[in-house]
Structure 1
């Protein structure tokens, strides 16, 4: 009886039911859209952080670089030999550690021994500035000549002047990371995927081999088997790597011992990559390391996330702030409108409910009828809202808008220390991320819950109004 009457009454009031369902649908669709876009932005930010830290890395340990003393120069300097030939091609490499102050390699084992640390590896960040070109020797010529005055006319001769000559040099700057080849699950190479050739083996701790990023290999036209020199040492490319996300901030990867030799930093590292035993205890592990190993700076992914700016950060703030509050406001308005429309519909059914009560229907049965109708309206609105939300999320993913993420420096940490060096720092610290809007089962479940809640709220208000009607009201409404 309840189901038959419910179906008949909903069929008689299709327009009113559709209006209530659409109101709830718009609110639910907005919630789904905002939630999915927020999830996409979180994924985009995770990609940025993974490109800096590496997969599985929870924090890094560095040490801030001390200020240079008075009279000391931290800038690169180059010296070239003077040669007698008119044209002389020369080349010089300047290798400098970058990022924070160099740490003793023994600190890696000390960090790994701290409570809550699952593993730790060291890495050395270098910047190589290569200057090559040639000098051209000028020629001395006299600027004076015969004045045509004959003997005794005082023919003059000017000072000789050097004409021609000069210098033509190219400057190429790129970043190098020294990798602990015995443990590549942490550190700079962890976020890279070998797309050509192979990675280092555990036996190549001091081998003259290199893995280069895909972008740098394309720029220099390197392929597996190509060779290049750094400060006179020849290295063979054994692999070309592509970042799992975003772009690589390092051009060349070398075994750690080779990088230490190039940078004159024997038994030194600039960054220690750390993985915690429990991701929920990262803050505790950070505090433990800082208290037990003085002078170090521990940077977690959440610390680094606070330095991300650009359109990604702006859009994320809008979605988390304005977007969520807007969806809450629209959803509350949709619930209120549904409740008011249901209450208004009950007011127009005075004769019907009054007659039912006169025939013996108790108030609870009338209330159940109104709540049942509202619940069906809510479920219809939920289905429409889920459909609209999925369409909106799919549209965002199909458009695939690009957002930029600018990474601020974090002392000597990966955000600043693993950049591309002079002339490339700004470019390497700005990344372009494609935004998607994934819809999770949790979001769908939330939408169903909101639909049921909306129907119950509207039904409760309408049912309360219907329960207060008396059979006499139906008689007074008869014209």
Structure 2
């Protein structure tokens, strides 16, 4: 009886039911689109962060910034002894990024802290290569000087001048990252995939091998098996790595011990990359490390996310604030409209409900009938809202608007130059002043769909509650005296 009456009433009042369902559908669709876009923003931001410090890294530990000592200004100096004309001269200056290092034993100290699942050290270097040649100037005698002597000079010296000469040098700068080959699953190297060749083997802890970034390899025309020379040491290229998004963490990757030898920093690292056992306890782990390991700065991925600006940050804030509040406002309005329309429909059915009560229907049964109709309207609205919301999310993904992420340099951290010290890793300093273009998508999760269904039911219950309350207050005698 309940379902039969429900089906007949919904058919008879199709227009009113469609209006209520459409209002709920609009609010639910907006919630789906806003939630999906927000999820896409989070994914885009994760891509930016992952391109900087690698997959799985929750925080980094770097040396706390200190004032440079006298004579440690950090400026690269090159010394040349002039050679004969035409002789190429070359000099490499290998510098530690940020000029701040930690003892390699810090990795074990960090790994022993509560809440730390794994930790690995890395050494970020910048290599400046200067090569070119000096050219000796030529002495040219002044015309007509003959045997004349210079005024005030010794007799017999011809007058003239030196012409030409000088120096022509090319300066090339590139980044090198020393990675612990025994822990390949953590650190900046994980932000790139090996697309040619192979990664480092665990047995190559001190081997003269290198993995080159794909863009750097293309620029320098490097292929598998080629050699690169740094500070007179030759390294064989065994792999080519392509970053998943954004810029690569470094142009060249070397085993950590080799990088330490090149920089004259044996037993030193620039960064400890940390993976927490529980993502919900990252703040607690950060506090523990700062308390127990002095002279360090701990930066989490959340800290780094605060430095990301550009259209990605603007759109993320817009979706999180304006979009969320707008969807809530639309939902509240849709619920109120649905409730008022249902209540108004009850007012027009006074005679009908009065007759049913006169026939023996209890107030609770009348209320359940009204609520049932409203819930069905809500479910229909939910189905329409999910369809429209999915279409909107698909449209955003299909269009894939490009957002720009600019890495800010205002965050403090490792005591280095520019934003490279935010997470202490090589990728950020390399990306300083650069923009990363990220394609926005709008993934729809099962949680979002569940939320939409819940809102549909809630909207129906709220609307049914309004109408049911009105219907339960009707008295058969009063109802029968009114004309519908």
Q: Assess same fold via TM > 0.5.
A: yes
* 1:437 positional shift: 0.9
Aligned partner of 2:152 in structure 1 is none
* 1:44 positional shift: 1.6
Identify the match of residue 418 of structure 1 among 409, 414, 426.
426
Aligned partner of 2:94 in structure 1 is 95
Change (3 A) 1:2 1:117: closer
* 1:281 positional shift: 2.8
Change (3 A) 1:70 1:35: same
Aligned partner of 1:109 in structure 2 is 108
Q: 5 Å matches for 1:173-192?
A: 173-192=173-192
**Is 1:378 the equivalent of 2:378?**
yes
- Which whole-Å CA distance do the structure 2 matches of 1:71 and 1:79 have between them? 17
**Is 1:456 the equivalent of 2:455?**
no
Residues 372, 459 of structure 1: 8 Å contact kept: yes
Aligned partner of 1:232 in structure 2 is 232
Residues 187, 273 of structure 1: 8 Å contact kept: yes
DSSP 3-state at the match of 2:239:
strand
Aligned partner of 1:77 in structure 2 is 77
* 1:421 positional shift: 5.8
Change (3 A) 1:214 1:280: same
Residues 52, 425 of structure 2: 8 Å contact kept: no
Aligned partner of 1:154 in structure 2 is none
Deviations 1:232-275 (A, max 9, x none): 11111000112234331311100111101111111111111222
Change (3 A) 1:122 1:179: same
Q: 5 Å matches for 1:67-466?
A: 67-70=67-70, 72-85=72-85, 87-99=86-98, 101-142=100-141, 144=143, 160-409=160-409, 410-412=412-414, 413=421, 415=423, 417-419=425-427, 425-427=432-434, 430-466=435-471
DSSP 3-state at the match of 2:294:
coil
Q: CA RMSD in A?
A: 2.4
- Which whole-Å CA distance do the structure 2 matches of 1:213 and 1:9 have between them? 68
Aligned partner of 1:45 in structure 2 is 45
* 1:439 positional shift: 0.8
Specify every segment of 5 or more residues in structure 2 that has no aligned partner in the other structure, as ranges.
146-156, 415-420
Specify every segment of 5 or more residues in structure 1 that has no aligned partner in the other structure, as ranges.
147-156
Residues 271, 424 of structure 2: 8 Å contact kept: no
DSSP 3-state at the match of 1:211:
strand
Aligned partner of 1:28 in structure 2 is 28
Residues 65, 100 of structure 1: 8 Å contact kept: no
- Which whole-Å CA distance do the structure 2 matches of 1:18 and 1:121 have between them? 60
- Which whole-Å CA distance do the structure 1 matches of 2:333 and 2:462 have between them? 12
- Which whole-Å CA distance do the structure 2 matches of 1:414 and 1:240 have between them? 27
* 1:323 positional shift: 1.1
* 1:83 positional shift: 2.6
Aligned partner of 2:417 in structure 1 is none
DSSP 3-state at the match of 2:42:
helix
DSSP 3-state at the match of 1:425:
coil
* 1:129 positional shift: 1.1
- Which whole-Å CA distance do the structure 1 matches of 2:174 and 2:54 have between them? 20
Residues 60, 423 of structure 2: 8 Å contact kept: no
* 1:5 positional shift: 1.7
* 1:99 positional shift: 3.1
* 1:142 positional shift: 4.4
Change (3 A) 1:189 1:477: same
- Which whole-Å CA distance do the structure 1 matches of 2:469 and 2:425 have between them? 66
Change (3 A) 1:478 1:450: closer
Deviations 1:89-128 (A, max 9, x none): 3222111001361111122222223333332221111001
TM-score, normalising length from structure 1? Answer: 0.91
Aligned partner of 2:418 in structure 1 is none
Residues 354, 474 of structure 2: 8 Å contact kept: yes
DSSP 3-state at the match of 1:99:
helix
- Which whole-Å CA distance do the structure 1 matches of 2:387 and 2:352 have between them? 35
Deviations 1:383-416 (A, max 9, x none): 0000011001111111111222223354224645
Residues 401, 434 of structure 1: 8 Å contact kept: yes
- Which whole-Å CA distance do the structure 1 matches of 2:129 and 2:73 have between them? 19
